[in-house]
Chains A and B, each alone.
Chain A
């Protein structure tokens, strides 16, 4: 059996742990730069017609009128709380796949002699007691069915108390008939549309299609979902995350920038961030992509956007080399006279450090490797960007994110502990 455990409106729930004055009240969390809504708890979803990813400025009045509490995103805090939940889940199964910041699959097939519903309840109650975070649990024979069970648990909280187990054929059929085809995990919008056009409206209809048809029209990916819905497990629990194929970051500036030197500094800073991730997973990158663009929502600004990919002579994870390459790219695409909103970088062609092919004309510098190790150690010990390349400049305030409503980093900073009187 597989259990899917996910946190209910995770970011918003995190924000409520240390704010009992907001328990049961509407809360939303804003994206980086406070641009749009990325999470809302059920109270906020019910109260207003908030759509995810809606720009905040459009609905600011509506939010205020309904006393919806807004938070800037506080990823340091969410990350730590997510880690705590994952640690707790490891007490319930030897095999846990961390699927996302707020979702995990647990292999619970080894749990014998315990009622699965009771086990799910125990998971839910323990996570809540330890962390204050509400979770839902769906248990079934396959991952896709566990997803379905989880959805049902969420939909009927009063009857099911956020836990649902699909363990009989009768329950499986009932659950599949209840699940709309577009809500099946792994079935995209295009496929859902096409299936609806041939009168496949729910997961049950889909499970009754012939496997040959599914294979022909939806490839082996669709066939796996078909098998999983029919109770045959095809998707394994993966403990180790795959190394990432591309690592990127792009954030809007706090205000529009025209000056190339400031954009350069932001670009260098982002490269430093992603290069650190690269080194942490012992990989190197072959390509650096850089892009800049203006605010496409603006009606008064002239619009421009461009992207470029630079190839490195030899794959590397050296911050300094990557910054040099990114800057060269940036010089190529930057045009004066525009008010830029965002610069972004993305490293790709990623391969493990030990597979890096040398180059006859290029010998790796050993000294920088040592330097970067010290770099990473210092930044890990004393906090992010304690030491950084001078290319990042010292004018971060001019371009960094606006996070006006960020809550304290309750669990990661001594200075920001919750204060009680």
Chain B
């Protein structure tokens, strides 16, 4: 009969990597219900190829509830409707206006329709 000496025992190194994790307990009940997390970009940007972000400075646009350092999301692909907010150009300058379709064509060049205003809470 052969006798095996166990020799000196070396403790195995602890391994924390996911692929060697040995799950024991009861499996999560949520396993089959996982969904991707909410992605703000997906929600707010429907046409990424036509959407641009810009930042405001100053209090000139308070009338439209747009404040200093807000981020405006602008979708150039949308057709403007009365009452929309839009970024327009007049005499080489950018302006934010509320759209009045009759006036828009006469006085301004439309740059894009504002879809969201992102404001940092105080």
Contact = CB atoms under 8 A, between A and B. Distances in A.
B76 interface: yes
B57 A420 contact: yes
A130 B49 contact: yes
Contact of A410 (B50, B52, B58): B52
A411 interface: yes
Contacts of A420: 54-57, 87, 94, 96
A20 B87 CA distance: 12
A419 B55 contact: yes
Interface string B30-60: 0000000000000000011110111111101
A131 B76 contact: yes
Chain B interface main SS type: strand
Nearest to B68: A421
B49 A418 contact: no
A132 interface: yes
A88 interface: yes
B96 A130 contact: no
Contacts of A23: 89, 92
B76 A132 contact: yes
A310 to B, nearest CB: 38
B104 interface: no
A362 interface: no
B53 A417 contact: yes
Interface in A398-421: 410-411, 417-421
A276 to B, nearest CB: 25
Contacts of B55: 417-420
A contact residues, range? 10 to 19
Contacts of B76: 129-132
A88 B92 CA distance: 27
A379 B49 CA distance: 24
A411 B76 CA distance: 14
* Residue among A22, A417, A421 facing the most chain B CB atoms (10 A cut-off): A421
B14 interface: no
A266 B68 CA distance: 41
Nearest to A420: B94
Nearest to B53: A417
A411 to B, nearest CB: 7
Interface in B57-111: 57-58, 60, 71, 76-77, 87, 89, 92-94, 96, 109, 111
Contacts of B94: 20, 418, 420
A87 interface: yes
A131 B49 contact: yes
Contacts of B58: 421
A419 B54 contact: yes
A115 interface: no
Nearest to A417: B55
Nearest to A22: B92
B2 to A, nearest CB: 38
A84 interface: yes
B36 to A, nearest CB: 19
Looking at A21, A88, A418, which has the most chain B CB atoms within 10 Å of its CB? A418
Contact of B50 (A20, A21, A131): A131
B77 A130 contact: yes
B60 A20 contact: no
Interface in A115-142: 129-132
B50 A130 contact: yes
Nearest to A20: B89
B11 to A, nearest CB: 25
A419 B89 CA distance: 14
A242 B87 CA distance: 42
A15 to B, nearest CB: 14
A129 B50 contact: yes
B81 to A, nearest CB: 16
Contacts of B89: 20, 23
A87 B54 CA distance: 22
A281 B109 CA distance: 43
B49 A84 contact: yes
16 contacts: A20-B94, A20-B111, A21-B93, A23-B89, A87-B49, A129-B50, A130-B77, A410-B52, A417-B54, A417-B71, A418-B52, A418-B54, A419-B55, A420-B54, A420-B57, A421-B57
Given A87-B48, A131-B76, A420-B56, 14 more contacts: A21-B92, A23-B89, A87-B49, A88-B49, A129-B50, A129-B76, A130-B47, A130-B77, A131-B49, A132-B76, A132-B111, A419-B55, A419-B57, A420-B87
Closest A-B pairs by Cβ, 7 of them:
A130-B50, A21-B92, A20-B89, A418-B54, A417-B55, A84-B49, A421-B58
